[in-house]
Amino acid sequence: MKKESTKKSFWKTFHQYRLKIALAAFLVVLPVVLLFAAYISPLIQSTRVSFDQEITEESTFITSFKDLNDLEDIYLGFTWKELIIPAKDEEGNLVSGRFIFSVNYNMNESLDISNVRVVISLQPRFTTFRNVSNEVILSSYSSRDVIVTQNINYPLNPLWFVSINEPTVYIRLMYDKGVSGELNPITVTEYIKVSLVDIDPLEVSYA
């Protein structure tokens, strides 16, 4: 009888204060939902990468990337060669900002690899900003410059308590690889992520 009485008392109390309980639960859940919408969702969106110059319905978004050290067939050399800080035009718009990267590759001489090319996309976290380079064909003998135009002044503050000091570098590496028993080479595509947090440009200048 005592246990049954306790249950009745609980439900009576719950029914009596149901509006207050619902309001308290709402006040707890709402900030969590708002936090996700304001911070987590933009972060996730900013790590979905397309290497198309213009986004269309047919654009493919990449979310999985390797580190430079994880490449198997090729060693990809990557240097942040120069940062050109944008200037302001007569209307106050930022112009002529550029990131210049020096890229080269080496490979095992036993491999039949050719037509090595890269595209670089720059995307700051928590934002929808994106800038994509032209495709650049690499040489195994010397470095090639890959230029990405980006007219943003860093640090960037897209949200409260969020400061972004540099964009994230995403690389699409493609090459043709001869395979034993195959008449034609196959095309290999690798997606690579490079953080600039601990990398400084060799040169900084102003547009």
pLDDT tens for residues 45-95?
888 999 999 999 999 999 999 999 999 999 999 999 999 999 999 999 999
Q: Which residue has the tokens 């942040």?
A: 80
Q: Which residue has the tokens 């040169």?
A: 203
Q: Does 175 share its domain with 121?
A: yes
User: pLDDT at residue 131 above 90?
Assistant: yes
User: pLDDT at residue 8 above 60?
Assistant: no
Residues 18 and 12: their CA atoms lie apart, in Å, by 10
Alpha-carbon distances of 15 from 18, 25, 73, rounded to whole Å: 5, 15, 67
Q: List the structure tokens of 109.
A: 């001489």
More confident site: 139 or 189: 189
Q: Does 107 share its domain with 148?
A: yes
Q: Does 124 share its domain with 185?
A: yes
Res 75: pLDDT: 93
- Closest C-alpha to 146, from 177, 122, 175: 122
- Helical H segments across the chain, by residue range: 2-16, 18-35, 41-46
Q: Does 27 share its domain with 93?
A: no
Q: Does 116 share its domain with 15?
A: no
Residues 154 and 201: their CA atoms lie apart, in Å, by 14
Q: Is 172 exposed, middle or buried (0-12, 13-18, 19+ CB in 10 A)?
A: buried
Residue 99: band (very low, low, confident or very high) from pLDDT cuts 50, 70, 90: very high
Q: Does 73 share its domain with 9?
A: no
Q: Does 123 share its domain with 154?
A: yes
Residue range of the domain that includes 22: 2-46
- Closest C-alpha to 86, from 152, 183, 181: 152
DSSP letter string, 79-102: EEEEEEEPEE-TTS-EE--EEEEE
The lowest-confidence range among 19-23, 43-47, 75-79, 176-180 is 19-23
Strand intervals (E) in 46-85: 74-85
Per the structure, the count of domains in the chain is 2
Residue 28: band (very low, low, confident or very high) from pLDDT cuts 50, 70, 90: low
Res 3: pLDDT: 47
Whether 38 maps to a domain, the answer reads yes
Whether 168 maps to a domain, the answer reads yes
Give me the CATH number covering residue 72: 2.60.40
- Helical H segments across 84-184, by residue range: none
The model's pTM: 0.83
Q: Does 38 share its domain with 110?
A: no
Helix/strand/coil for 27: helix
Whether 11 maps to a domain, the answer reads yes
Q: List the structure tokens of 108.
A: 């095992």
Q: In the predicted model, what is the mean pLDDT of residues 166-191? A: 92
- Closest C-alpha to 107, from 36, 176, 14: 176
Whether 27 maps to a domain, the answer reads yes
